[in-house]
Amino acid sequence: MEIKVLETECGMRECAVALLEKVARATGVLIDITEVTDREEIERLGVTATPAFLIDGSLVHSGGMPTHDQVENWLRGKTPSFLERPTRHLFFTGKGGVGKTSLSTATALALADAGKRVLLVSTDAASNLDEMLGIELRNIPTPVPGAPGMSVLNIDPDTAAESYRRRVLAQMDASASVTDRATVREQLSGACTTEIASFDEFTSLLSDGAGDYDNIVFDTAPTGHTLRLLSLPQAWSGFLSGNDRGASCLGPHSGLKMQEVRFKAAMDTLTDPGQTTVILVARADGSAIAEAARTSEELRTLGLNNQRLVINGVFHASDPDDVVAAAITTLEQQALDEMPTCLQLLPQDRVPLRSFDTVGLSALRALLTVDASPIVSGNVGTEPIEPLPGLDALADELALAEHGLIMVMGKGGVGKTTIAAALALGLIQRGKTVHLSTTDPAAHLVGTVDADVPGLQVDRIDPKLETQRYIDKVMASKSPGLNPQEQALLLEDLRSPCTEEVAVFHAFSKIVNEARSAFVVLDTAPTGHSLLLMDATGAYHRQTLREFGGRGGRLTTPLMRLQDETYTRIILVTLPEVTPVSQAAALQYDLRRAGVEPYAWVINKSVLAAGTHDPLLAARMAGERKQMQRMAGGLAARLFVVPWRATPPIGNLELLKLVN
């Protein structure tokens, strides 16, 4: 095995060589060490931080001294260290688009191949596990063909909610009338019930519902939604403590009080480092790493301290003369060099960028293999594609209206916030007044756009703030007619975690109505969370029509605003990769079922449009070209492209370059 140690400082270089030789002796692996000390030669190899280590020509580490375990993994060709002595429960979480589903699925597959009985669980309403594994996802464990010992389960919100409603209705007295049952079913039709039903299944898996499995691997929704899920055992336990009446917002006879023991058991499992590991997944990207750091701190406040870090998709340019490839390498290394201390202290693995899409068992098995071939064979071609209009053309089209709602939607990590901010600034530049807001719990707007622009209002729907506003409003409206005991009971009910969903929906409805007189650009949460919000919109629409539809006059609900193509323009953002495109297509299908038609698709971060001849990137461009043809072949009514940029589009000056 040929190893190059790149370091100009003598002492550091000697320490690195000594470590390599020590581990090589212990493992019985023959190595040939070459020391590279010339700074120009190091730069020519594309390395910006030393000490750095190349094994058989591939960069495996840079910017610091590796650990003994990391070197042992290199020499033995082991899979990542998080697969060594894993706890029973493994949670993969992180910013949308960092590869949680790929890594969690590859992990479950590796454990099953090692003889374990493994259950892979998706808590993401927008999961693409079905596409990766080639099977239909169900809300019961389903064996994976070709992977003995491995089963997959999808906590589907709609299925879970319907099952929950049936259980509640079954507990009603036999004397209950048809009207009473219909009333209860309607009470249980909102997003609050959907969340509780999903949460109920989740806690069952943590407490007593998966005893037949050696390992349970959770593929979670993007960070904001996952943090809420992991905090719910604590939130519901606190709400139920001393509440003998249960939660009235879940309907009569819900029996939620009986679940208190299960919620406590779930919290005990999550906080036990011997049972649960949280694997924070990030890319070598500043925003993904920053979100991983925030998530790490928030999880610690919940008592989840057994954490690890995986940097996924690490790229190293093979040709330093390729401008695009070199810029990607430089930006990634800068992000890694600036990693917050709280992450540096965590056990860490790095998974290199692969040329292949992680679809199918063979690709998933190769993802975590050290010696997986980085380049696919064959002539992939790098000729330019048919030019597509840019974001400036989309801004021109949107500006033709006098006002309206622009909702930017898509899978987590595709760049919705960037596109929403750029379009808002583009409309300002074209003489419009714009309110830019977000429904995303992760709230990246503040770090993307500078709010000090005439005609631009920037804010967010803050769940905690909106919940308190909603509680204050309800108490002010209803408490005057109640005695002190009844007021205390009302306030107790309003402190239920369900209230947050209702409050966020009311704030969303208010913003939707603002588009009657100005432009509102809404940066939505990742797909699954947004669909729950759409469910709440639909439930409110049905309830409003039932209660007020027959009274005459003009009635307009938020859903009707979204269905009005002259009022609302839905912009679907995707990356030119199979998973984001498939999820955007699924989202479009769900929107159409609700009578909402997307206006346009935006392909973000197109390397093909930027141009490169790096072999690894060129191999990936074959897949990018295929996805562009797929979108242009009927998925998108209008298609716009944003090329990958060497300078990240953060701040107003860079954002404006996208729409000029």
Q: Which residues pair with 574 in a beta bridge?
A: 603
Please state, in angstroms and rounded to a whole number, the distance separating the CA atoms of residues 380 and 386: 17
How far is residue 373 CA from its own chain's centroid?
A: 28
The amino acid occupying position 336 is L
Non-local CB neighbours of 25 within 8 Å, separated by 6+ positions: none
User: Half-sphere exposure of 283 toward its Cβ, with a 13 Å CA cutoff?
Assistant: 19
The DSSP code sequence of 144-210 is -TT-TTEEEEE--HHHHHHHHHHHHHHTS-TT--HHHHHHHHHHT-SHHHHHHHHHHHHHHHHHTS-
Active site residue 510: no
- Residue 450 falls in the annotated catalytic set: no
Catalytic residue of the set 99, 246, 313, 528: 99
Q: Which of 62, 79, 93, 101 is catalytic?
A: 101
Residues β-bridged to residue 568: 405
Please report how many Cα atoms fall inside a 13 Å half-sphere around the Cα of residue 132, on the Cβ side. Answer: 29
Question: Is 431 known to be catalytic?
Answer: no
Query: Could you confirm whether 179 is annotated as catalytic?
Result: no
Catalytic annotation, pick one of 94, 96, 97, 246: 97
Among 579, 582, 606, 612, which one carries the catalytic annotation? 579
Cα dihedral 82, 84, 85, 90 in deg (nearest 10): 30
524 is catalytic: no
3-state secondary structure of 58: strand
Please choose, from the candidates 115, 149, 108, 148, the residue with its C-alpha nearest in 3D space to the C-alpha of residue 129.
108
CB environment 417-446: b (16+ within 10 A), e (fewer): bbbbbbbbbbbbbeebebbbbbbbbbbbbe
* Choice among 4, 100, 411, 432 that is catalytic: 100
Give yes or no: 223 in active site.
no
Rounded to the nearest 10 degrees, how much is the dihedral formed by the CA atoms of 650, 331, 11, 23?
A: 120
C-alpha–C-alpha distance, residues 440 and 524, integer Å? 6
Q: Is the peptide bond before 51 cis (omega within 30 degrees of 0)?
A: yes
Question: For residue 497, what are the contacts with CB-CB under 8 A and spacing of at least 6?
Answer: 195, 232, 235, 236, 239
Is there a catalytic annotation at residue 28? no
Query: Which of 62, 93, 105, 124 is the catalytic position?
Result: 124
> How far is C-alpha 360 from the chain's CA centre?
21
- Residues 93, 102, 254, 606: which is the catalytic one? 102
Contact (Cβ atoms closer than 8 angstroms) between residue 616 and residue 315: yes
| Residues recognised as catalytic | 97, 99-102, 124, 579
